[in-house]
Amino acid sequence: MDALQNLQSMGLSLPSPAALWANLLFSIIGFVIWRMVRRRGRSDLSALAWAIMLYPMLVSDTLWLYLIGGALCVIVYLRWRD
């Protein structure tokens, strides 16, 4: 527990379970989209798939994780239909 207290004294904290689940969820969704894009030759969506996989590493707030992830998924869905 001393290591955890040392990290907290430096201003670092562990992410919440909801943030960990969001990170895992959107990384898997992004990977699945990327695989589908590669198989179907839709290279226009590959950047969005990479964004869905990688953005959780840049966002620390749980609410923003879900909002940005949901928005990116909706964008992929709408562009996939076209």
Q: Is the residue at 7 inside a domain?
A: no
Q: Is the residue at 77 inside a domain?
A: yes
- pLDDT category of residue 1 using cuts at 50, 70 and 90: low
**Which residues, other chains included, contact 36 with Cβ-Cβ below 8 Å and sequence gap of 6+?**
42
Query: With contact defined as beta carbons under 8 Å apart, do 65 and 19 qualify?
Result: yes
**Which residues, other chains included, contact 55 with Cβ-Cβ below 8 Å and sequence gap of 6+?**
26, 68, 69, 72
Q: Is the residue at 3 inside a domain?
A: no
Q: Is the pLDDT of residue 9 over 90?
A: no
Q: Is the residue at 28 inside a domain?
A: yes
Query: With contact defined as beta carbons under 8 Å apart, do 62 and 19 qualify?
Result: yes
Number of domains in the chain: 1
Give the up-direction half-sphere exposure of residue 59: CA atoms within 13 A in the CB hemisphere.
20
CA-closest candidate to residue 48, choices 25, 65, 31: 31
Q: Is the residue at 55 inside a domain?
A: yes
Q: Is the residue at 9 inside a domain?
A: no
Query: Which residue segment(s) compose the domain that 26 sits in?
Result: 16-81
Distance CA 6, CA 50 (A): 34
Q: What is the pLDDT of residues 35-78, one digit of tens each?
A: 999 998 888 899 999 999 999 889 988 999 999 999 999 999 99
Q: Is the residue at 31 inside a domain?
A: yes
Q: Is the residue at 2 inside a domain?
A: no
In this prediction the pTM is 0.80
